[in-house]
Structure formats: C-alpha cells, structure tokens
A and B are shown apart, each in its own frame.
Chain A
Amino acid sequence: MTPILQIRDLQVSYYTDLGRATALNRVNLDLNAGEKLGLVGESGSGKSTMALAMMRMIKAPGRIESGSVTVGGVDLISLNDEEMRLARLSRIAYIPQGAMNSLNPVMRIGAQMVDAIKAHIPNMSKDDMTEQCMQSLESVDLKRNVFQMYAHELSGGMKQRVCIAIGILLKPQVIIADEPTSALDVVTQRQVMETIDRVQKEMGTAVILIGHDMGLMAQFVDKVAVMYAGRLTEVSTVRDMFSKPMHPYAQALIKSLPNLSNKGVFQGIAGLAPSLLRIPNGCAFHPRCPQAMDVCKTTVPDVKEYEGNRLVACHLYTEGA
C-alpha cells in the first residue's frame, strides 16, 4: 500500500536577525490512509512548523528549503500558488491551534462554511452548498440550526466542532489538527476527540494530531512521532512508545507523565530545550541525555528502522548492529 502522505527530506529555516534557525531538519515521514499519527515534542521543537510546511503556509522570514510533501501522489511543494490554494482543504486540511477563536464573530457559521466551498467549487448551486455544510455539521454531532448561528452562541467545544466540520467539508485525504483541544476542559476534550475519531473512521482520512499531551495521544492515535529540535527522534506505535520507548528523549518524556501511582514525584526533563539558533553539534539531545556517549557529541545519528517498524535516531542502538 502506498502511503497517502509521504514527506521526504523536508527542511524549513527561519532567517532571523541572529542567524538561520533550522526549524525542520530533513524530516521523513509516511502515513497510510486511515492512520492516526501523534506528533509530540516540546514548544519550539518544530511541530507547528511541520504542519505549516505541509500546508505550504510558512511565511517570511521562514522558507521551505528543500524536500517534498506528497499527498495522494501529488507533490504539494511543486504546485503553483493557485493549485496549492485548491489543494488546501480538498486534499489536506489544517485545524490550527485555537481554531475556535478564528471564527468570524459577525458572520453566521453557515456563511463562513459556504465561503470555504465557494473558494473551491464556485459553480456549485446554493442549495447544494447549504446541504453539504449541514451534513458536515451533522457528522460532528451539531444540530442543523448551528448553520444559522453566530460564534458567540456556541460553547467552546461546539466552536471547535464547527472548525472540524469546516475541515472535513471537502473530504480531504489528510487532516492536521494542531492541539485541537488545548483550551477545552477534560469532559469537552473527550467529546471533541471522540468526534474526530468517528469522522476519521467514517471517511478513512489520515489524521495528524499535534500536541504535547501524551495522555491524549495514548487514548487517540495509532502511531507517535517524537520531535526534538527540528528532527524526528522516534516513530513507533503507541503501544511500543508507552511500554518500551527507545530514544532517551522519548523515555524521559514518558517518565515525566503524572499518573495516580507516583504522587509527588516530578520527573521533569533536566536542562532546557536547545534554541534553534544554537542546536548542539551531533545529536541535539546529547547535553540533556543521561546516556550520552562521545560519538553523540560529534555525529548526528541517522534514523534507522528497528523491529516492529520503529524508526529511531539514536547511537545507542547502532553500536551492536
């Protein structure tokens, strides 16, 4: 099966006054149709940059230096601007962080949804557009009358679901959700995530969930990709990731999670995430790594495949091989 989404050697830099910051460093990633991938990492690890690069929405001073993002056989990076505009939402949809605050307060929900369709299929009849919007609203468990409402009449969870409804309007093959529930409380969060889950199953879409809540990842995704300083350090199935993480950073991340059996034990990860302007030589994690070796200080570890289709970039496991 050819993966629906293939990212190859994607590199993104931001040109700042203090020098070039490499926010995404030769990232490779495959995702099959119907798969749910969690992308985790600290702030500034390049999660959101990756989402924006996939949508080709990186703004100056940022630039996509090289690489390809192939969705269903089409390389998005090589499209011209007009083709890319059409690809957004129809091939690949993006639900940005705090999407629920992006609804226009002076327009009815319906008008905003119709706008999205008009931008792609201008000659569709008005009734068809309305019907498609209503169906989309129903598929995220909202009533049809939400179409006539304004954003202030909806609760946070409902607004977030409107944004999901807009995201799935044109049945994209890939949906990127950037922390879709970070501003919602646990009960609403659960409802929103269950909605995404159901919609995803019905449409067979691939979903990339960006976030740092490992608990949410454990409940929702199939695969977890851990990012650190612009590189992927480990990609494993969710079960492998939680039972035996391989990369030391992933191990630290799993250990830092609070649960009910270790009250009062705070295992934060020592040290600070590196500034992207001063990424350490060799493995970017080596200054914080408890198992760092000499080779880690000089050579960047390559991503290698291990048992169970796991991808790990760490020297610890290459020594014996």
Chain B
Amino acid sequence: MANLLEFRNVTKTYTRGYFAEAGTTALADFSMTLKEDEPTIMTVAGESGSGKTTLAMLLLGFIDPTKGEILYKGKNISKLRGDDRLNYRREVQAVFQDPFAVFNPFYTVDHLLTVPIEKFKLAKSKADARNKMEEALSSVGLRPEDILGRFPHQLSGGQRQRINVARALLLKPRVLVADEPVSMVDASLRANILESLRGLHRDHGVSIIYITHDLTTAYHVANSIVVLYKGGVMEAGDIDNVIQKPQHPYTRLLIDSIPWPDVDRRWGSDGMMVKESDATDKGGKGCRFAARCPHVKDNCLHTPPPLYRVAETQVASCVLYDNNPVLPATQLTDVLPV
C-alpha cells in the first residue's frame, strides 16, 4: 500500500535573525501518513498559534521544514522538479481561510479560475473552459452569471470563499488542504460547502486535511482528528471518541468553549477555568499546556509527556494518563481511522 503523503518527524522552528537563542517552535516532531488508496478526512484543530497553518504551509511546500521531511508519493517535496513538481502542484490543492486576501483586486474573479485552467491545460477550447468554470461554480451553489465578470469587491465573503472551493474542485486534486474554509461563511451555506467537500472525498477519492478551530463542523465532516497546541500534538484519534470523551484538559477546554446553539447548554457549564493564552509564554521544557492547565503537577514542567494510548483509537499527551501504554510519535497514524 503506497503512501500518498508522509510527514516524517517534521519540526518547524521560526527564528528571528541569526543570533536569536531560541525561536518559536510552530510544529514539533510531527509524523503522519495519508494512504494512497484510503482517502480520509482528517481534522487538525487548535487555537490561533497552535501550528495548524504552519502544517498547511509545510504540506503545500510554501515553507521547508527545519527538521524531518515531507514525502509526496515517496519523494521529498522540497526536491521535486519538472513534471513531478507540476503534478504535485495540481494534485495538492488548498482553500484558505481569508477569502479577501486571495483575490487580486485588479482582475475580475474569472482570473482565479482561468489561470489554473491555462497552467494545467485542463480545457481544449475557450467554450470548454467556460463550461468547466460554470460547472464548478454551480456545484458550490453559485449562479455563474452572477459571478463571472465581477470584481472581488463586488462579492460577499461567502461568495468569494465558494469561488475558492470551486477553483479547487476544478483541478480534481488528490489532497485538499482546507484551512478554516467556512469560518467566514454563513451558517446556512456552511452546510453546503462542507457537503461539497465531503462529496469530493466520497466521489473523487480526495483526501482532505481540514484545519479548523470549529469542532462542531469538524465533527460532522471528519473521520479523525489531531488536536495541536503550540506545535505539539495534545490529543488525536477517532473523531467520535475525541469529541464525545475528550481526555486532554486542552481538548476539554476547546469543547467547552464551543457556543452550542442550545439555550440550555451554557458556556462553561462544567466549570473549566479559562486562562488567557499568552503569546510570550514559550511553554518551557515541559508540557506546552502546563501554564494554563488546571490539573498541572510538578512532573508536567520538566519533560513533555509522550502520547498515552487512552483507547484503541485515541491518544492523549498528558500525565493524567501515564498508566496507559505509550505510543511512539512516529506511529500516530495507527490511531487515526480512515
């Protein structure tokens, strides 16, 4: 069984200048595999600054890892050249969070769709290209006649985001990195966009890496979840387990902070205290979450806890579970169902 995509002990550290003593570790020793013939939807969750977007950037080859390597179909993505590189560029697509930033205000939105068609030679004629564009736009719930020929400032954020999804659909990718694709879209349309993402997975065998802090939508689309905090994996596993029986204190905080659309289920009803996330807190040597954790003990402060296997398909990096067997970080994929 061939690996489509493989992260091997990837670490990314951002440093400032040449003489800075220590940089910020945005992703620490992360290993993960996507199988070629088992498309999956994996959620990467965490708050701002947890390394979610760094993961996406690494996967897309926009930045190189400080340590470790990322393989696409067995080849290191930073060393891809020629046709391999073009293939990788077409087969790994992205939808970004901010639908305002990806458009060039001087071009009509058609530009965003025509460029990939030309670059990857997807259409035989102008009419064919036009058909493909209209088809992609309709499949994300847009009226092509309302969209084509317009400038980005004439469209709403929701419309622009759906154009981005349409652009990704157009290229029929193998891996789609969706970085907060619905955080700026209407609730009633969220369902439609997520459904089209799921359709892409189901009908075209596309693996989706769904990066979000919104665990409600993650729960609805994904098979598995990895919860990151300051670059480290806090909890991972089957999404049903993790959302319904969160083990790590950080995951519990995240789940407790979801604004449930239910007037009888109030925020903070389980009394979990919320401490401000502090950007200057480097986390020290121990557990990254120790500074905010209500269960912090002395042994949290020295070494980061390994991943303890709390269930068949669930691991948590927390000393509360230190009587469970340890799962080596390189075998994280074992607990992620497809």
Contacts and interface: CB of A to CB of B under 8 A. Distances in A.
Interface stretch (A127-135, A162-170, A268-276, A301-309): A268-276
Interface string B158-188: 1100000000000000000000000111111
A51 to B, nearest CB: 15
Contact of A258 (B158, B217, B257, B274): B217
A42 B143 contact: no
Which residue, B141, B186, B190, has most C-beta atoms of chain A within 10 A? B186
A186 B47 contact: yes
B188 A185 contact: no
B220 A264 contact: yes
A269 to B, nearest CB: 5
A253 B188 CA distance: 6
Given A182-B184, A215-B216, A267 B263 contact: no
Interface residues of A, number: 47
Nearest to B240: A263
Contacts, number: 130
A215 B262 CA distance: 7
B188 A259 contact: no
B192 interface: yes
Given A43-B156, A185-B47, A269 B257 contact: no
B261 interface: yes
Contacts of B141: 272
B220 A268 contact: no
A256 B187 contact: yes
Given A186-B213, A260-B243, A155 B279 contact: yes
Interface of B: 47-48, 141-143, 146, 156-159, 183-192, 194-195, 198, 213-217, 219-220, 240, 243-244, 253-254, 257-263, 266-268, 274, 276-277, 279
Interface of A: 42-44, 155-157, 182-191, 193-194, 212-220, 238-239, 242-243, 252-254, 256-260, 263-264, 266-269, 272, 275
Given A44-B156, A187-B254, A190-B274, 11 more contacts: A43-B189, A187-B47, A187-B257, A187-B274, A189-B257, A212-B187, A215-B261, A256-B187, A256-B190, A260-B244, A268-B191
